[in-house]
């Protein structure tokens, strides 16, 4: 049942990735990110919500967090470039990609002024303390 809720678009991630790699196999595929890469664990306690989001290889300057109207928005804007050279050092292939990923988590009743976020070994840890009433101004959240 949980899989049905998470897979609202009726796409089987295994077969989707298999088909993409079969019809367009590239080394670049292994380095690119897609929405499946934003694996998230959410834990709720009486005091707060704790999120752990896998963001391997993503610099914190490319991650944007915002909390507004009970929703935590996570946006990643990542650019990658790679070059392959031959034995003489001449470039034989140059590839670039740019991707944007975003997710929104519905987490109501959060004290906006005390949300904290930090990256540790490719994992974005976000703590959202609960509050009876919060002043929601929709501003950006700084990642430490």
* pLDDT for the residue 91: 80
**Where in the sequence is the domain holding 56, given as residue range(s)?**
37-141
Q: Is 9 within the bounds of a domain?
A: no
Residue ranges of the chain with pLDDT lower than 50?
A: 1-10, 25, 27-32, 35, 134
Q: Is 132 within the bounds of a domain?
A: yes
Q: Is 136 within the bounds of a domain?
A: yes
Condensed to tens digits (0 to 9), the pLDDT of residues 102-137 reads 899 999 999 999 999 999 999 999 999 998 654 566
CA dist 98 and 37 (Å) reads 15
Q: Which residues, in sequence order, are bridge partners of residue 82? A: 95
Q: Which residue matches tokens 């990735």?
A: 17
Q: Is 14 within the bounds of a domain?
A: no
- Contact residues for 99 (Cβ-Cβ < 8 A; gap 6+): 32, 33, 34, 76, 77, 78, 79, 80
Q: Is 86 within the bounds of a domain?
A: yes
CA dist 25 and 57 (Å) reads 21
CA dist 20 and 35 (Å) reads 14
The three-class DSSP label of residue 62 is helix
Q: Is 10 within the bounds of a domain?
A: no
């Amino acid at each position: 049942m949980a899989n049905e809720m998470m897979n609202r678009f009726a796409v089987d991630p295994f077969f989707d990735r298999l088909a993409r790699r079969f019809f367009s196999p590239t080394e670049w595929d292994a380095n690119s990110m897609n929405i499946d890469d934003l694996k998230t664990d959410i834990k709720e306690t009486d005091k707060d919500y704790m999120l752990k989001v896998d963001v391997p290889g993503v610099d914190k300057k490319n991650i944007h967090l915002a909390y507004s109207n009970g929703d935590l928005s996570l946006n990643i804007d990542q650019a990658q470039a790679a070059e392959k050279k031959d034995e003489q050092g001449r470039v034989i292939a140059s590839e670039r990609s740019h991707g944007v990923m975003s997710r929104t988590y519905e987490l109501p009743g959060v004290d906006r002024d005390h949300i904290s976020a930090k990256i540790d070994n490719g994992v974005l840890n976000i703590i959202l303390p609960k509050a009876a009433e919060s002043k929601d101004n929709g501003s950006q959240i700084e990642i430490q």
